[in-house]
Amino acid sequence: METEFADAMEAFPVSRLAETEDPEKLLEGAQPFMELMSRYRCAMMEVETKLRVLDEEFSMTYDRNPFETIKSRLKRPVSIIGKMKRRGYPLTVEEIEKRLNDIAGIRVICSFLDDIYTLADMLAGQDDIRLLEKKDYIVSPKPNGYRSLHLILEVPIFLSHSKQYMKVEVQFRTIAMDFWASLDHKLKYKKDVEEPERIAAQLKECADIISSMDERMQQIRDQIETGKKMEE
């Protein structure tokens, strides 16, 4: 919390307040932003809980787990401010909540392709969740080869005197997709890379290979499960 407060003080638009050299006014300027971040953190907790409940039910019904790991992250204040400025939006708490969909993010890592869609449908289909947007970069990958299923959800959080809906971005990937995306992210920020076009082409080729592997692993699992059913 201390780190988050320091980030808020550094990034949030309190320059006019700072001129007053009044600590109380500085705190007043940061407090709404910190409260917003707290609500997003609560929304992530809600989604994580829902996913773990689905995982438990799935394991009882099908004798396996639909995902391997869950990773969550809250966008840093500096990143939030930078994104708002790049898009030319007013720098207020209200506009941040209205304009940005990826402040609260959860990444779900699955072993198989069909588990991604099964789990995403089960989550988005819950009656207290609102599906705002769905982007399927598995069926339609990005030009660089990036693959993932993205959902923008509105999730209710229950506070002491109210219920509020908060936006959470949930990304579903296979283990292979996550491995590729992680390395692509690291290489993207390397400086003074020679022949960047050749490197990009190689990464795209790796993404295609990984996609083929995911499909093949799915086929193998389907064959195994079909064989089990025939034995039964």
Crossing angle of helices 196-231/175-188, nearest 10°? 170
Under DSSP, is residue 69 helix (H, G, I), strand (E, B) or coil? strand
Which of 95, 169, 195, 225 is catalytic? The answer is 169
169 part of the active site: yes
In three-state secondary structure terms, 169 is strand
Q: Could you tell me if 101 and 154 are in contact, meaning their C-beta atoms sit under 8 angstroms apart?
A: no
State the DSSP code for 117: H
Q: Which residues contact 154 (CB under 8 A, 6 or more apart)?
A: 129, 130, 132, 165, 166, 167, 168
* Catalytic residue list: 169
